[in-house]
Structure 1
Amino acid sequence: MQKDHFFTRRRMLLAGAATLGAAGTARGVLAGGATETTRAAPPVSGPQARQALKPSAFRLQPLTGDGPPHTEPRKLKVRREPILQISGRGRRMMLTFDDGPNPDYTPHILDALDKYDVRAMFFVCGECVADYPELVARMADEGHVVGNHTWTHPLLTTLNRKQIHSEMKRTSDIIEHTYGEPPQWFRAPYGAWNRAAFQLGAEMGMEPMAWTVDTTDWMEPGTDTIIDRVESGAAPGVVVLSHDAGGDRSETVHAIREWLPYLLDSGYHLTVPPRRV
């Protein structure tokens, strides 16, 4: 059964905490793994010719049996703020989905992405992966990037370091077993970061990823509002936050079928971060 027990609480917390994930100086992800300060350009006006998107060069095959052998992650430099944008030439954007997987909504989102040959990031909760591992295996098979969103979606700023470590480590372990390799990205629930989250994420080989544009789909504002949020917020470097679980996400499913082709027709290339080796 889908774990939506935190849904009512997230409505109250997100209103105050979402700004933590989208405020401050934007940091961009570079092809080489370094960072630079970037600023989003104004939204593109007027449709442009759709650019052909090539299938991902990196497609993980779902693993069976006992899963892959465990490898210790490479420790990263500890950041003081999460990454908010991607960088690079051209109209590049990134789509991200939180809180899943969920059998009622995630398959429809994956179907829409597959229809337009687009890759995205899914920040999954460990307890949901345990319930629906086949959906994470499908994400791997179709070339999407899976990130760590903790096990039970707690507000990290209310936990001690040991509890935060457990939430993150258990989720990384089940992602590695189901997806095929440990996650390289972490997103704090509610966008509420603290020093322990940055430090532990770096120790586990994960970069902190926030967002630039919040679709507000977690508020269930209506399909048209979600569409407008994405289309009006579109700009080079933008990271879009949506959800494929945590509540009724039917509006999100309907909206992506509208705004996804719009972005492509506007000349955007929807990408995912490069894999670190």
Structure 2
Amino acid sequence: MKKGIFLAIIVFVLMLLCSCSNENKSSEKEQDNIASSNEEVMDKTEENNKDEQDPPVKSDSAQDSVEESNHLVQKEPLYIINDVWFLEPIKEGTNEKVVLLTIDDAPDDHALEMAKTLSELEAPAIFFVNGHFLETEKKKNTLKQIHEMGFAIGNHTFNHQNLTEVDEEIQREEILSLNALINEIIGEKPQFFRAPNGANTDFVKNLVEKEGMLLMNWSYGYDWVSEYQSKQAITEIMLNAPELRNGANLLMHDRPWTSEALADIVKGLRDKGYEIADPATIKTP
């Protein structure tokens, strides 16, 4: 009897131990499953974080495209204006056969039409403006349109005053008041200055330099001379003038005959092998 009871106790104990062992194994398996699941979640979280922190690397072609785009916007200075007002290359290998187009006394009656002609021909130019042409909203809007078409705007004094005939205070006012007006209209100050009749004083030269503008006159121009005040005559002289050579700085005006001839002048210059220089490539102070 005692032996039977003893065996029964042993069997019970063995069964109890087996049950505990199975429970422990089940618990360990569940813990392993939980740990594995947690690791997967952490791995995915780390991958997501990495994607958020590290933007995709651009391909070489994409980076080159961005750099090329920036290069197109930024224009390295290629030319200086020398002592006789011609464009002169800064570095060897730069095209020497160029001419600069400039339009004075704008915007009178034909400046916008001239700008449209030049724009259609993809021919850059500087429009030198007078303040007395900018006293109406219509003319201010005309200047704004010319600027928005991509043309450089230059200072030609407020009243087209011969600066050698007035005192320094008036010289200062003629230049600075127009700078302020141009800045008000187009949002930037002019980089180029040309005095009426090409008449400068030492005071003007110093003031222009202080204002960060480039002093400029011209190589040749004829459209104010009576014998050249027709489309045919001004075209012929601008294309065959003895002063026409590499780097020539061409002076024209906001005049009806010049406006009519402008397209033929540009095409004729190109037929002679001249490139139209971009004012943005001229070195300024």
Q: Please give the alpha-carbon distance, in whole angstroms, between the structure 1 residues aligned to 2:129 and 2:165.
A: 20
Aligned to 2:238: 230
The one of 243, 246, 250 equivalent to 1:240 is 250
Bigger radius of gyration: 2
Aligned to 2:113: 108
Aligned to 1:207: 214
Aligned to 1:16: none
Q: Please give the alpha-carbon distance, in whole angstroms, between the structure 2 residues aligned to 1:261 and 1:251.
A: 16
TM-score by length of 1: 0.66
Q: Please give the alpha-carbon distance, in whole angstroms, between the structure 2 residues aligned to 1:241 and 1:36.
A: 14
Q: Does the alignment pair 1:218 with 2:224?
A: yes
Secondary structure of the 2:112 match is helix
Q: Equivalent residues in 2 for 1:109-258 (5 A)?
A: 109-131=114-136, 132-214=139-221, 216-220=222-226, 221=228, 222-233=230-241, 234-244=244-254, 249-258=255-264
Residue 180 of structure 1, CA deviation? 2.1
Q: Does the alignment pair 1:262 with 2:272?
A: no
Across the two proteins, how many residue pairs are aligned to each other?
198
- AA aligned opposite 2:267: P
- AA aligned opposite 1:156: L
Give unpaired runs (5+ residues) of structure 2. Answer: 1-75
Residue 36 of structure 1, CA deviation? 7.3
Q: Residues 2-57 of structure 1: CA distance to partner in whole angstroms, max 9, x if unpaired?
A: xxxxxxxxxxxxxxxxxxxxxxxxxxxxx6488475xxxxxxxxxxxxxxxxxxxx
Residue 129 of structure 1, CA deviation? 2.5
Residue 175 of structure 1, CA deviation? 0.9
Percent of pairs identical after alignment?
Answer: 26
Aligned to 1:84: 85
Q: Please give the alpha-carbon distance, in whole angstroms, between the structure 1 residues aligned to 2:87 and 2:79.
A: 11
Residue 251 of structure 1, CA deviation? 0.9
Give unpaired runs (5+ residues) of structure 1. Answer: 1-30, 38-80
**8 A Cα contact 1:213 1:229, kept in partner:** no
Structure holding more helix per residue: 2
TM-score by length of 2: 0.64
Change (3 A) 1:274 1:138: same
The runs of at least 4 consecutive aligned structure 1 residues that moved more than 6 Å come to: none
Change (3 A) 1:267 1:33: closer
Q: Please give the alpha-carbon distance, in whole angstroms, between the structure 2 residues aligned to 1:173 and 1:193.
A: 20
Secondary structure of the 1:152 match is coil
Residue 116 of structure 1, CA deviation? 0.5
